[in-house]
Amino acid sequence: MSVVTSSLSKEQQKKLLSLFIHPRLHLLYKATVHGFTAAAFHSRCDQQGPTVIVAYSAAGFVFGAYTSKDYTQNGQAVIDKEAFLYSIPAEGDKPLRVAGISGQCAFTDGATGPNYGALVFLHDDKAEFQSNPGTSFNFQAAEMHGNDFKLTEFEVYRVEGLTHLAAAMKMCTVFIVSVHTRRKQQLMKTILSYKSEIKTVHQARVLLVGPVGAGKSSFFNSINSAFRGNMTCQAIAGTGDKSVTTQFRTYNIKAGKGGAPLPLILCDTMGLEEKADAGLDMEDLVSIYKGHVKDRYQFSPSNPLLADAPGYKQRVTLNDMIHCVVYVIDACKVSLLTANMLDKFAAIRKKTNQLGLPQILLMTKIDEACPLVAEDLKNVYRSVYIEKKARELSDSLGIPLSCVLPVKNYSGELDLDLETDILLFSAVQQMLNFADSFFENQVIEDQDQLDLYRSNEHLRPVGSEETKHQIV
């Protein structure tokens, strides 16, 4: 008995195998040996599991169809989301792969030759096929088979040891989600377990500064939502030319509903505005930095807070001061920052540097700025556009590129998103790291109280009274 061998060249076989993950092909049927008839096809190919058709046209095209389902001749329309048509080019390029049209069957499982709608093989038991692009599958006929309907050979292979590409992608997706879930949990654990090396400071205070509408309040709401496990809107957020935030606010974030507060306080201010006499005043900003502004103080752009005013806190401690400043800028408006706004940032940066406060820049709305990121948030570090905008901000504001962090705030979503949370938590982790830099730079005049002031073991007794380091 003669051995039936494949007509595929090594290169053609390599390209065909590239459509699958780790397959083995077992030749079931060869028309030039077994006959160009539907009966011969079904006698050797029915109930064989996943199979791939390889058709050879007189024009030199090698093309066909794959299904993960059995042929059974039951006369039914078969739905197979893994089915596809393909064509192997003569040179160089990867195989053309055509997925099925959504909502349409992959093939009709009748007693005729294989009928994939767009391609019908062994028509009338002849060495030819029919082409009907748009039925179940859509393609350009010239690209698929060259419009030559005569077949010189027709083979069917059982696909064994198969991890189909779609299945492999699904497995890969599950793996990636698992890795990213662990990453999120690791970030949460790091944030929740943070302890300042200053014994008397249990929470790092981070101030959000930025133009109107950049997303300062939305950033707090997003962080709060991510830790609560559901969408929240504690801080008033909105859009427009005027700042929605008119008070100085300090926000605690809790780990879950009714949970313990995070070792972080986010402080929100009025937005920066174009006019010199509008928005957050520089004197008020300095008072906030030094801890003299009480929570819920109502800003007055025309009259900065005075030392004898009701909202002014006379005696402050390191707990009241700002430990890290975070600038918030809309990625969509990086190129639209005016000279007036850049001058305001320059003045703020100068004063912030003088006070020795570490600074970070959050670039928000990255999904609105870049379609690639909107498609998949994991593309943020692959986006050339986002990198370009980060460099523009770094150059314009004089902030190191490593301190420009991309984030996406929650806005119209109803459910939390893993990738969004990871970016948010990564930003919070950096804020805590930068706050540590501020604490490490503090000078202690009374060396006798060094052990009380600085903690090596980062432990604090719950409910104990601790000495506060007074700062005037």
How long is the chain?
A: 472
Residue 189 in this model has a pLDDT that exceeds 80: yes
Distance (Å, whole) CA 301 – CA 281: 6
- Round to the nearest angstrom and report the end-to-end CA distance of the chain: 101
* Residue 154: predicted pLDDT: 96
> Residues 96-104: contacts with CB within 8 Å, 24+ apart?
96/139, 96/143, 96/144, 97/19, 98/137, 98/138, 98/139, 98/144, 99/137, 100/136, 100/137, 101/134, 101/136, 101/137, 101/138, 104/135, 104/136
DSSP assignment of 222-274 equals HHHHHHHTS----S----SSS-S--EEEEEEEESSTT-PEEEEEEEE-PPB-S
Residue with tokens 């974030």: 253
| Residues linked to residue 84 through DSSP beta bridges, in sequence order | 66, 99
121's tokens: 């093989």
Amino acid identity of residue 336, one-letter, is L
> What digits encode the pLDDT tens for the residues 94-112?
889 999 998 899 999 999 9
Q: Is 345 exposed, middle or buried (0-12, 13-18, 19+ CB in 10 A)?
A: buried
Q: How confident is the model at residue 31 (pLDDT cuts 50, 70, 90)?
A: very high
Query: pLDDT tens, 282-306?
Result: 888 999 999 999 998 887 767 888 8
Distance CA 12, CA 91 (A): 10
- Provide the pLDDT for residue 84: 95
Phi and psi at residue 108, to the nearest 5°: -100, 120
The answer to whether 72 and 101 have CB atoms below 8 angstroms apart is no
Q: What is the pTM of this model?
A: 0.60
Predicted local confidence at residue 99, as pLDDT = 93
Torsional sign, CA 266, 267, 270, 276: negative
Angle value at C-alpha 44, between 43 and 48, nearest 5 degrees:
115
pLDDT of residue 451 exceeding 60: no
Higher-pLDDT residue of 59, 151: 151
Distance CA 58, CA 377 (A): 47
Mean pLDDT of the chain: 86
Whole-number pLDDT of residue 140: 92
Q: What are phi and psi of 12, to 5 degrees?
A: -65, -40
Q: How do residues 152-180 score in pLDDT, each as one tens digit?
A: 999 999 988 655 455 555 555 666 667 78
Rounded Cα gap, residues 3 and 24, in angstroms: 18
**Regarding the domain delimited by 165-441, which CATH topology (the fold level of the hierarchy) does it fall under?**
Rossmann fold (3.40.50)
Which CB contacts under 8 angstroms, 24+ apart, belong to 413-421?
Answer: 413/231, 414/231, 415/231, 416/225, 416/226, 416/229, 416/230, 416/231, 417/377, 418/177, 418/180, 418/181, 418/184, 419/180, 419/376, 419/377, 419/378, 420/222, 420/226, 420/377, 421/184, 421/226
Interval 206-253: pLDDT, tens: 999 999 889 998 999 999 999 999 988 876 655 555 555 678 899 999
Q: Give the whole-angstrom CA distance, residue 405 versus residue 417.
A: 18
Identify the bridge partners of residue 157 per DSSP, sorted by sequence position.
27, 52
- Kindly state the average pLDDT of the residues 57-63: 91
Domain ranges of the chain: 10-162, 165-441
pLDDT at 50 exceeding the cut of 60: yes
